[in-house]
């Protein structure tokens, strides 16, 4: 009876061990899509976050709506998109650099917020 009990414990231990060995690693699978929607009025963000959080490797889409024609510029990644009054434009890229990157209205030289990319 004692032996059967011991065997059972060993079997359970082996199965638990196998579960952790065979379990797919979440980090390898994750390449998330992150979409942010920002609305700019009077050279300020009136809707949406001023800090955009992402993880390295994420596919980031920033949808932008502005009341005036301007240029949206994301530093570090050095990506720009022309803002067209009252229509939505978007900036799409893979967040392959980690760190904090400010974005601004390029012509006005006004900082709107920042993209924060956590290292993987
Ligand atoms: Cu700039």
> For residue 33, how far is its CA from the centre of ligand 1 (angstroms)?
25
Task: Please tell me the predicted confidence (pLDDT) of residue 86.
Answer: 86
Running along the chain, 120 residues long, what does each successive block of 10 average in pLDDT? 64 59 56 95 97 98 98 98 96 98 98 97
For residue range 29-64, list pLDDT tens digits in order.
557 999 999 999 999 999 999 999 999 999 999 999
- Could you please report the per-residue DSSP string of 20-57? HHHSPPHHHH---EEEEEEEEETTEEEES-SEEEEETT
How far does residue 109's CA lie from ligand 1's centre (Å)?
A: 7
Ligand 1 geometric centre to CA of 3 (Å): 72
Q: What is the pLDDT of residue 4?
A: 64
Residue with tokens 């959080």: 53
In this predicted structure, what is the pLDDT of residue 70?
98
């Amino acid at each position: 009876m004692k032996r059967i009990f011991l065997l059972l414990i060993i079997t359970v231990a082996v199965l638990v061990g196998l579960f952790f060995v065979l379990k797919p690693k979440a980090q390898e699978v994750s390449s998330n899509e992150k979409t942010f929607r920002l609305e700019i009025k009077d050279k300020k963000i009136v809707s949406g976050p001023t800090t955009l959080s992402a993880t390295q490797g994420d596919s980031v889409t920033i949808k932008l709506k502005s009341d005036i024609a301007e240029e949206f510029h994301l530093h570090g990644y050095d990506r720009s998109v022309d803002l067209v009054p009252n229509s939505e434009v978007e900036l799409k890229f893979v967040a392959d650099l980690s760190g904090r990157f400010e974005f601004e209205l390029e012509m006005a030289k006004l900082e709107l917020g920042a993209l924060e990319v956590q290292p993987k």
